[in-house]
Amino acid sequence: MLQEYLNSSRSKSRSRKSLLNPARWLCGSGSNQDSESSDASLEKDVADVIRPFNFLDDDPEYRSSVAFMTFRFSAVLDVEKLRKALEEVFQLEGYHELGARIRLNDRGKLEHHIPFRYDDARPAFTWSHKLFPIKIEEHPEISKLPDGSKHTTPTMYTGVESWKDCLYPSKALPSKLQDYLTADISPITVHIASFEDATLLTLAFPHVVMDAVAASYLLKTWAAVTAGHREAIPPFMHDSNRDIVKEIIDSMSLVRFLGTLVADWTQYPKQDWRFICLPSEYVSRLKADAMDDCGGQYLSEGDVLGAWRNRLIAKACNWPLDKPILMLQYYSLHGVLDELPPGRAFIGNWVAKMFVMTTTREIIEGSIGEAALHIRNSLKQQRTREQAEAFLTMQSQRKIMMFGEHDQAFVGLSNIARAGLNKLDFSGAVVGEGSGLPVHLHSDFFVSSSLKLRNVGPIFGQDASGNWWMSWVMRSEAWPRVEQQLARESGVRIV
């Protein structure tokens, strides 16, 4: 059955034109590319429903980013079944709008141009499929992607930038906001790489469209439709009027702080993005020790890993002990605001920022438990409706939220483990043997901004083998010192 499917897929990939890839510049990647397009497609369609982006989505930070998530499955997935299921998803309430074309109006604001219906000429999403007639371990680059095996030693993955175009061919697929503004294409792109024994499924989208939690609802709905389990689809929360803010907090002037960031860029122009894998036993010990440090008070793995990572960064960057540090943490407003009740799907960027002030001395000389508790208590204080509304007020007024001293260091963290992306189940599309659960999640961004923040990155959560994954970007000169710290504390494997 498996071999028959592979042979059939090869035949289809050579002969069938994709119904889901209308733009000429998408040609050349994958097997389902259509080279026909027309400049007329860029004209406004009178049947389109036009809605402005809300201020949370149309954010300068998000405008500069196109996100992609790659899921590695140790099974062959039925690509045609996946495509048809995704087409069904876009017929569901709420998800139809996700195929809206992105446009700029005369005032420079982003707008959703929602097609009345999707068809071959104006598909709901861009679809790309590449078939490799080899086993995944035979591919020179993709074979380096983690395979989900259980780790026993902290492991650092280097050279992850070289994975990008293998997982998501940006020369052929949209990778910056301008690509979406100048073509009649959906903001949702799916690229699938099929091997004889594995499948890589990549979902890409401009960050202005949604955040990681919203993307998880799309993916879970897609998986449920693929498996024929419509009862598992979460109800959709649809509310286009999301300006619910009331309060105002003043922010600092950013001029001198931005000067500090530019000075760091000038002195250390090179930076690297690396992935860190920590065995479950290692994280359990970290958490137990941290809770002992603060008298047994509860700490989550995210609290502890955030404090542990911040200490590594502060030491590696050789910041003076009296240097102030601004810790920025992103958190979901889902469940914080009554308008975002738990368990209901949504699309968009419902993310707020929490700020914690500290110093290098507190991070390095204090215990990890104390630092983690400081973060947790700050999150409790700031993760309230009143604080969320204050944040939204500032966003609506285009105030940039950044507090503290002009010469402070900066670290940022987002914990997307709660999105449950590692538990995504596409068993409904498995051909032959194998699991529909991903063995690895790789997430990254294409960033078009000239000034890129450093010391920022997400905690992904646990994979199927219990390993914890996180990543961050840092100046290149600092990474060897992280390696040395890990080698002294517990040993480290560099890949």
Considering the domain architecture, whether residues 223 and 371 belong to the same structural domain is answered as no
- What is the per-residue pLDDT for 407? 77
Question: Same domain, yes or no, for 185 and 272?
Answer: no
- pLDDT score, position 397: 66
Tell me what pLDDT residue 33 has. Answer: 33
Do 201 and 262 fall within a single domain?
Answer: no
Same domain, 402 and 346: yes
The parent domain of residue 379 ranges over 255-419+450-494
- Residue 358 resides in a domain: yes
Rounded CA separation 24/238 (Å): 33
Backbone region of residue 351 per phi and psi (left: phi > 0; alpha: psi in -120 to 50; beta: other values): beta
User: Is residue 328 assigned to a domain?
Assistant: yes
Domain annotation covers residue 424: no
Q: What is the pTM of this model?
A: 0.82
Residue 246 lies in a domain: no
Q: Determine the pLDDT at residue 3.
A: 45
CA dist 493 and 491 (Å) reads 7
With respect to residue 194, please indicate whether it lies within any of the assigned structural domains. Answer: yes
Same domain, 187 and 292: no
118 shares its domain with 25? yes
Co-location of 106 and 223 in the same domain: yes
pLDDT confidence of residue 401: 57
**Residue 428 counted as domain residue:** no
Q: Tens of pLDDT along the chain (495 residues)? A: 444 433 444 444 433 333 333 222 222 233 333 333 333 335 566 688 999 998 888 888 889 999 999 999 999 999 999 999 999 999 998 899 999 999 999 999 999 999 999 999 999 999 999 999 999 999 998 999 999 999 989 999 988 888 888 899 888 899 999 999 999 999 999 999 999 999 999 999 999 999 998 999 999 999 999 999 998 898 876 544 433 332 222 333 445 555 666 677 677 778 899 999 999 999 999 999 999 999 999 999 999 999 999 999 999 999 999 999 988 888 888 778 777 777 788 888 888 888 888 899 999 999 999 999 988 888 888 878 887 777 777 666 655 555 666 678 889 999 999 888 999 999 999 999 889 999 999 998 888 766 677 899 999 999 989 999 999 999 999 999 999 999 998 888 888
Decide: 177 and 206 in contact? Cβ < 8 Å.
yes
Number of domains in the chain: 2
- Per the domain annotation, does 212 fall within a domain? yes
User: At 294, which CATH number?
Assistant: 3.30.559.10
N-term to C-term CA, the chain: 36
On whether both 172 and 293 belong to a single domain, the answer is: no
Task: Kindly state whether residues 199 and 112 are assigned to the same domain.
Answer: yes
Give 364-429 as a 3 state SS string: HHCCHHHHHHHHHHHHHHHCCHHHHHHHHHHHHCCCCCCCCCCCCEEEEEEECHHHCHHHCCCHHH
Same domain, 122 and 266: no
Q: Is residue 444 part of a domain?
A: no
Q: DSSP secondary structure string, 10-29?
A: HHHHHHPPPSS---GGGTTS
- Are 380 and 412 within one domain? yes
